[in-house]
Structure 1
Amino acid sequence: MAHDDQFRFEYEPGVLRFGTDCVDALSDELAQQGFDRALVVCGSTVGSTPEVIDPVTRGLGERLAGIFAETTASKRLSTAVDGLEAMRACDADVLVGLGGGSSLDVATVIAVLAADDRDPAAVGRELVETDSISVPDGSLPPVVAVPTTLAGAEQSQVAGVTASPESGLVDEPASGGVADRRLMPRAVAYDPTLFATTPKPILAASGMNGFDKGLETLYARNATPITDATAMRGLRLLRDGLEALGEQPVDETLLKPVVEGIALVQYGVSRPGETTLSIIHAFGHGLTRTYDVQQGAAHAIVAPRVLRYLFDRVDARRELLAEALAPEHDGDPAEAVIKAVENVRDALSLPSRLRNVDGPELEAFPAVAEAIIEDSFMGNAPPGLEATTEELEAVLRECY
């Protein structure tokens, strides 16, 4: 998008609730939206941690139909199939995704599977063949999100899913996603008290991922004045909040501005038919699809170098980024932005080199660069950028 006076902004978020102990109102929220029986979808750690699960079950009260505590970071299709069985067994009419993005993604895939009676093996074949799962016409069970990490996956109408041959659903490993405007959560509860139960290393890594959503939203081709406003306010909160998170003990008071920032940088990121995620997230995909490096660590490593690559070639709205991240700077706005991002990374004690994580070695960089340039998020690269695989490979070498 050329940043002129014409834009189109279509966004359909769910209800956003924010504040300490806001999960106390989950039953009221479900009642207002006409839902009666909730299945909580979470991982085993969350499901067995009273500080996390108990406030949610209390908040749901008599509307709690069951708990499915089997999600994993792999976001397996087989887990969603099992979750669908649990949903039907307890006659739930709404799914509550509790925890990190993987639990919300699994809840979303359960909703897709619940919409019709497709054979799970047929769904697996579709995932292998198309890297996606089609969303049936008609109504879908609603999803309510209760996040406990800072990656920013809860204001989204897309979800990731994988499958392995061990499940019996596919003959070869597969990964992909589902996307539909009807998959946007019907409500999100941002409760800083629940975030404070998450270990600091997880908050730090996920926070870097969420922080980068704000960066990318400002320079994406489809940026709008609306997303400029929310992303800039969110980045200001995250710059200070994430640095404080790295230096101080975790509690709900410390996390309130961080959680607020994460909520804001997501606003308008995932829209019908488009997203503002861009080149940093494409690098993240390229590095994590076939390697064990964690997404937040990958983002921490690549973000400053990708920004330098962008600033060397296009404007990438450096003045706006500097206004958000380094309003006091009196020199080169590009350098001020890069330094601010490095400061956040370092305060969170995240890695700065690929050689120090379980990522690709030098000989794999051409293939990784090819995966990055083919990633759909590259379509949102800043106006004027004409990236080549050779350039992206050079950025990877800088990251090494």
Structure 2
Amino acid sequence: MQFDFHSTRSILVERGGARNLAKRIAERGGKSAFIVTDPGVLSAGLLEKALPQFKEISLPVQIFSDVQADPPVSVIDSAVKAAQDSKADYIIGFGGGSSMDVAKLVALLASGKEKLSEVYGVGMAKGPRLPLILVPTTAGTGSEVTTISIVTVSESEKKGVVSPQLLPDVALLDAELTLGLPAHVTAATGIDAMVHAIEAFTTKRLKNPVSDCLAKEALRLLASNLHQAVKAGGDIDARENMLLGACLAGMAFTNAPVAGVHALAYPIGARFHVPHGLSNSLMLGPVMRFNLEAAHSMYAELGQIIKPGLQGSTVEQATQLANYLGGLAGALGLPQRLVEVGITAEDVDQLATDAMLQTRLLQNSPREITLNDAAQLYREAL
């Protein structure tokens, strides 16, 4: 047995912990801070929990709030320049996956020693980077504990920067920040986190005993709390369990990488601007059913965590799980078919072609996905 496991240096779970963010930076030697976030976080007032302490202890802070979903190269460039101009020595990603992904790249690139165009791929980013704290405000991406940052490089393609250098110094999980999440965001990000755990557990490459344990515990927390978090958004216990579950799923898939669901979801997000979690949920059922012949025993094992009591052979249990998860988005009030987000049969061939560009992800699929397979999977999801 041989594997290499990476994780964030410190994970802090603390209700109300965002209020002490400035002190934590100062305690670590920070003299000025640069916060990367998005307009939604600002309008929801979430940063208002953290900002007073910066004034109280006279720690200078500048806010970059122009992050958009599926951030393009232009947003990364603007954020890096703003951070360089601020001369901040501590970077904070405060928001969903896009804000945290941008913050990671700002911390890496602000020194000017590396360029974004040079660090795409696995292990290309060498560092060093500025000190970094990530504060998730959604329970989905797990970006606060992953070695990955995703950038939209064209209308049809996303690329990843993958390096241990992107792991932050601290991941701060404050469930109070997720209390205001709308039900549809809670549902989409929750399914996204479940996809991370499912694909980490069934990945063809780099699967290991540590990632397996994390994936299963993540699914236990997520599956048993998702409906409650969607239905009763003020339930702090459900919110905290979702946040921790998403974090554990992130730890799993940054070591045992995701595969076909993500490969087919990325073109949907890039071309049709469908949120990442929703894109994943739309492709989850079809890809799981496609993978049954190669992964049914693993799916059956996860089925006893997600839907305890499934009966029959491993193939039958895996099929039941795939059908249940394929219908989960609809059960939670989200679109369940591609046509509901504006995709038609005429788009299938282009989406399939785009998906074939995701070689970093496709190589992890337990069953090989060809161009024709991808087209058929999109048709099934229509």
Q: TM-score range by the shorter chain?
A: 0.7 to 0.9
Using a 3 Å threshold, how does the CA distance of structure 1 residues 347 and 90 change in structure 2: closer, same or farther?
A: same
Q: Which residue of structure 2 aligns with residue 369 of structure 1?
A: 352
Using a 3 Å threshold, how does the CA distance of structure 1 residues 23 and 313 change in structure 2: closer, same or farther?
A: same
Q: Which residue of structure 2 aligns with residue 169 of structure 1?
A: none
1:212 aligns with 2:195: yes
SS of alignment partner, residue 180 of structure 2: coil
Mapping for residues 303-382 of structure 1, pairs under 5 Å: 303-315=284-296, 317-331=298-312, 332-342=316-326, 344-359=328-343, 361-375=344-358, 376-382=360-366
Among candidates 49, 54, 57, match of residue 51 of structure 2:
57
Q: Which residue of structure 1 aligns with residue 238 of structure 2?
A: 254
Cα distance, 1:163 vs. partner? 6.0
Looking at structure 2, the residues matched to 136 and 283 of structure 1 have their Cα atoms a distance apart, in angstroms, of 26
What code does the residue aligned with 2:133 have? V
Among candidates 74, 79, 97, match of residue 93 of structure 2:
97
SS of alignment partner, residue 273 of structure 2: coil
Q: Which residue of structure 1 aligns with residue 178 of structure 2?
A: 195
SS of alignment partner, residue 372 of structure 2: helix
Looking at structure 2, the residues matched to 264 and 335 of structure 1 have their Cα atoms a distance apart, in angstroms, of 25
Cα distance, 1:70 vs. partner? 2.0
Cα distance, 1:133 vs. partner? 11
Q: Which residue of structure 1 aligns with residue 79 of structure 2?
A: 83
Q: How many residues matched? A: 374
Mapping for residues 165-204 of structure 1, pairs under 5 Å: 176-204=159-187
Cα distance, 1:31 vs. partner? 4.1
Among candidates 365, 373, 380, match of residue 391 of structure 1:
373
Q: Which deviations, in whole Å up to 9, do the C-alpha atoms of 1:332-386 show, x marking residues without a partner?
A: 2113322442453233212111111133x2133233223324412111112xx23
Looking at structure 1, the residues matched to 278 and 123 of structure 2 have their Cα atoms a distance apart, in angstroms, of 31
Cα distance, 1:111 vs. partner? 2.1
8 Å Cα contact 1:23-1:59 kept in structure 2? no
Q: Which residue of structure 2 aligns with residue 168 of structure 1?
A: none
Deviates more, 1:34-43 or 1:248-257: 248-257
What code does the residue aligned with 1:349 have? G
Q: Which residue of structure 2 aligns with residue 30 of structure 1?
A: 25
SS of alignment partner, residue 71 of structure 1: coil
Among candidates 144, 157, 160, match of residue 150 of structure 2:
160
Using a 3 Å threshold, how does the CA distance of structure 1 residues 282 and 163 change in structure 2: closer, same or farther?
A: closer
Q: Which deviations, in whole Å up to 9, do the C-alpha atoms of 1:49-105 show, x marking residues without a partner?
A: 33x112222455533522222222242333333333432444311111111111112
Mapping for residues 119-134 of structure 1, pairs under 5 Å: 126=117
What code does the residue aligned with 2:238 have? L
Looking at structure 1, the residues matched to 374 and 163 of structure 2 have their Cα atoms a distance apart, in angstroms, of 31
Looking at structure 2, the residues matched to 259 and 357 of structure 1 have their Cα atoms a distance apart, in angstroms, of 27
SS of alignment partner, residue 66 of structure 1: strand
SS of alignment partner, residue 65 of structure 2: strand
Q: Which deviations, in whole Å up to 9, do the C-alpha atoms of 1:299-329 show, x marking residues without a partner?
A: 2221111111111454361232122212212
Using a 3 Å threshold, how does the CA distance of structure 1 residues 32 and 336 change in structure 2: closer, same or farther?
A: farther
Looking at structure 1, the residues matched to 371 and 156 of structure 2 have their Cα atoms a distance apart, in angstroms, of 26
What code does the residue aligned with 1:184 have? L
Using a 3 Å threshold, how does the CA distance of structure 1 residues 32 and 277 change in structure 2: closer, same or farther?
A: farther
SS of alignment partner, residue 24 of structure 1: helix
Deviates more, 1:20-29 or 1:282-291: 20-29
SS of alignment partner, residue 40 of structure 1: strand
Cα distance, 1:155 vs. partner? 1.4
Looking at structure 1, the residues matched to 221 and 169 of structure 2 have their Cα atoms a distance apart, in angstroms, of 25
8 Å Cα contact 2:188-2:334 kept in structure 1? yes
Using the aligned pairs only, state the percent identity.
22
Looking at structure 1, the residues matched to 163 and 120 of structure 2 have their Cα atoms a distance apart, in angstroms, of 15
Q: Which residue of structure 1 aligns with residue 225 of structure 2?
A: 241
Cα distance, 1:14 vs. partner? 2.9
What code does the residue aligned with 1:67 have? I
SS of alignment partner, residue 235 of structure 1: helix
Looking at structure 1, the residues matched to 153 and 373 of structure 2 have their Cα atoms a distance apart, in angstroms, of 32
Using a 3 Å threshold, how does the CA distance of structure 1 residues 347 and 225 change in structure 2: closer, same or farther?
A: same
8 Å Cα contact 2:197-2:219 kept in structure 1? yes
SS of alignment partner, residue 350 of structure 2: helix
Q: Which residue of structure 1 aligns with residue 34 of structure 2?
A: 39
Looking at structure 2, the residues matched to 225 and 174 of structure 1 have their Cα atoms a distance apart, in angstroms, of 32
Q: How big is the alpha-carbon RMSD for the aligned residues of Structure 1 and Structure 2?
A: 2.7
Looking at structure 1, the residues matched to 362 and 259 of structure 2 have their Cα atoms a distance apart, in angstroms, of 6
Using a 3 Å threshold, how does the CA distance of structure 1 residues 311 and 117 change in structure 2: closer, same or farther?
A: closer
Deviates more, 1:349-358 or 1:152-161: 152-161
Looking at structure 1, the residues matched to 86 and 357 of structure 2 have their Cα atoms a distance apart, in angstroms, of 42
Using a 3 Å threshold, how does the CA distance of structure 1 residues 174 and 239 change in structure 2: closer, same or farther?
A: closer
Looking at structure 1, the residues matched to 240 and 156 of structure 2 have their Cα atoms a distance apart, in angstroms, of 40
Looking at structure 2, the residues matched to 312 and 174 of structure 1 have their Cα atoms a distance apart, in angstroms, of 29
TM-score computed with the length of structure 2 as normaliser: 0.88
What code does the residue aligned with 1:243 have? H
For structure 2, the 5+ residue unaligned runs are none
For structure 1, the 5+ residue unaligned runs are 1-5, 165-171
What code does the residue aligned with 1:57 have? L
Using a 3 Å threshold, how does the CA distance of structure 1 residues 214 and 277 change in structure 2: closer, same or farther?
A: same
Looking at structure 1, the residues matched to 145 and 36 of structure 2 have their Cα atoms a distance apart, in angstroms, of 17
